[in-house]
Amino acid sequence: MSEAITITPSLTMEEKEVTNPRALGLVELLHTQFNARRLELLELRNLRQAELDDGKKPDFLKSTQAIREDNWVVSPIPHDLQDRRVEITGPVDRKMVINALNAPVMTFMADFEDSCSPTWSNIIHGQINLRDAINKDIEFIRESDQKRYALNQQTATLIVRPRGWHLNEKHVLVNEEEVSGGLFDFAIFLANNHEALSQNGSGPYFYLPKLESHLEARLWNDVFIAAQDFLNIDRGTIKATVLIETILAAFEMDEILYELREHSAGLNCGRWDYIFSFIKKFRNDADSILPNRDEVMMTRHFLKSYVDGLIKTCHKRNVHAMGGMAAQIPIKNNTQKNNEAMSKVESDKLREANAGHDGTWIAHPGLSSIAMEAFNSIMGDQANQISNKRDDVNITSHDLLKVPNGMITEEGLRHNIRVGVQYIEAWLSGNGCVPLYNLMEDAATAEISRSQIWQWITHKASFTGTNQTIDENLFISILDQEMTQLIELRGDSNFDQANLDRAIDLFQSMSTSSDFDQFLTLPAYKFL
């Protein structure tokens, strides 16, 4: 290991195998070449936020108009990414990796980001698990009954989501600087697995989260080129799908694809983070207050416009337009509620397929047949719908910025509190993907909960049909009520009271602070 690199935890032999000199050499190279640019781009986010706070609304860039109007297309898509009609997502624990790759879907997005609590153990063992899966050398034995989990002969295509540009990996230092979590995840995976992936007839495929501009996409593209050169991989081997999950990125979709055109595998509608981004970016605008989370559906004008614009943009460039996450999960022991949930999933997936999406996301294998049937009914034997150019679509800035109306209720506030606190508690315990109230919650959905409360308190919103203002005192009172009830419901069940107390403190401080925390994971990370 280079003297420039320090890994603070002591490593087991297995952990040393994936943090081998070649992999760490790539981490060091990428950090040295690109970390300064990464930090500059993060500062640019702050400057753009200041402009928004001053009332300047985002718009399509005049400087890149030619890129939007020209008829360029991206490089051809590999064979095993042509048909992506159903993708399952989830964290990188060993059982999940096996079950997801075995699921009756086309691809599996192995997630180091929103559904992964980035403990050192989760991150490094996630890398081990993916290496073993690619090498067809993975199994999991459940302790309770010794049930064995192993890979099927036929498995889904693997795609990996590294952490976003804003997250560091505090356990790995280069010249005493914390490295980028995303660069670390990317480098370790690529260095350890590109050869085996090629031998398996696949390649190193990635999802890129949280981008806010084409300049951030350009940075990733430069990282890809440097990494391919370092490892003697042909340029263009890496393919990446960008999640459009920030309102600012929605104005630069053509430009993002253009920057990655040699490495692009399309764009994805990251719907939950997109809603969070809308709240976050316009948090200081009293005219941009969103109603209860459950009223902000994909049929709302600003979200439908974002979807239609993304599909048109991707298909113009001959690349995939992926749909969003179905947060529902199968509900056991309640047939009526389960049927209602599954009906919502079916309706959502049919909406996506009819709009022209080339595939969609699910978080649970139990939803695979519903999602598959929805897309099969529209796509038939076609691998994708890229031929559907959506020439009927003409999205303006007004369309993307139209604020939906709706109700703000006490129950909406209470639900946000319950979800937000319990998610942070689970995250602090090392679990980043949590079933709560019959939905699968991850960092993106929890962000909506806490950012909405911050926005309501800041602008002294009132419950619909009442004169009751949502202020800090009311919030704290209801928070206390909900947490007392939660503890009573748990009774003698085994849970970590310290993590719950810390989650409550974090949620309260982030919801009431005068300064808005950009991501809940940033102040929470120091406790991992």
Beta bridge partners of 269: 244
Look at residue 360 and give its three-state secondary structure.
Answer: strand
| Per-residue pLDDT at 327 | 87
Of the three residues 351, 380, 398, the one that is the final residue of a domain is 398
Q: Tens of pLDDT along 136-174?
A: 999 999 989 999 999 999 999 999 999 999 999 999 999
- Same domain as 228, residue 87: yes
Which residue in 464, 439, 443, 429 sits closest to 518, CA to CA? 443
Of the three residues 368, 398, 428, the one that is the final residue of a domain is 398
- Same domain as 295, residue 277: yes
Return the percentage of the chain with pLDDT > 90, whole number: 97
- Same domain as 418, residue 380: no
- Same domain as 470, residue 413: yes
State yes or no: pLDDT of 1 exceeds 80: no
161 is catalytic: yes
pTM of the model: 0.97
Beta bridge partners of 393: none
Look at residue 52 and give its three-state secondary structure.
Answer: helix
Domain that holds residue 478: 407-525
| Per-residue pLDDT at 100 | 97
Find out whether 507 and 475 touch, Cβ atoms under 8 Å. Answer: no
Q: Which residue do the tokens 């030619």 mark?
A: 66
Find out whether 294 and 255 touch, Cβ atoms under 8 Å. Answer: no
Longest dimension (CA), the chain: 66
Look at residue 158 and give its three-state secondary structure.
Answer: strand
Find out whether 266 and 321 touch, Cβ atoms under 8 Å. Answer: yes
Find out whether 511 and 102 touch, Cβ atoms under 8 Å. Answer: no
| Count of domains for the chain | 2
Q: Which of 131, 161, 163, 390 is catalytic?
A: 161
- Same domain as 318, residue 198: yes
Find out whether 61 and 252 touch, Cβ atoms under 8 Å. Answer: yes
Q: Which of 111, 442, 450, 517 is catalytic?
A: 442
Of the three residues 366, 398, 430, the one that is the final residue of a domain is 398
Who contacts 178 (Cβ-Cβ below 8 Å, separation ≥6)?
168, 169, 170, 172
Who contacts 55 (Cβ-Cβ below 8 Å, separation ≥6)?
285
What is the 8-class DSSP label of residue 76? Answer: P
State yes or no: pLDDT of 29 exceeds 90: yes
Q: Per-residue confidence at 495, pLDDT binned at 50, 70, 90?
A: confident
- Same domain as 521, residue 416: yes
State yes or no: pLDDT of 10 exceeds 80: yes
Who contacts 6 (Cβ-Cβ below 8 Å, separation ≥6)?
172, 173, 174, 176
State yes or no: pLDDT of 295 exceeds 80: yes
45 is catalytic: no
Q: Per-residue confidence at 492, pLDDT binned at 50, 70, 90?
A: confident
Q: From CA 242, how far away is CA 265, in angstroms rounded?
A: 8
- Same domain as 430, residue 508: yes
- Same domain as 390, residue 341: yes
- Same domain as 433, residue 293: no
- Same domain as 433, residue 390: no
- Same domain as 288, residue 188: yes
Q: Tens of pLDDT along 73-127?
A: 999 999 999 999 999 999 999 999 999 999 999 999 999 999 999 999 999 999 9
CATH number for the domain harbouring residue 470: 1.20.1220.12
| Per-residue pLDDT at 493 | 81
CATH number for the domain harbouring residue 19: 3.20.20.360
- Same domain as 135, residue 10: yes
Q: From CA 381, how far away is CA 379, in angstroms rounded?
A: 6
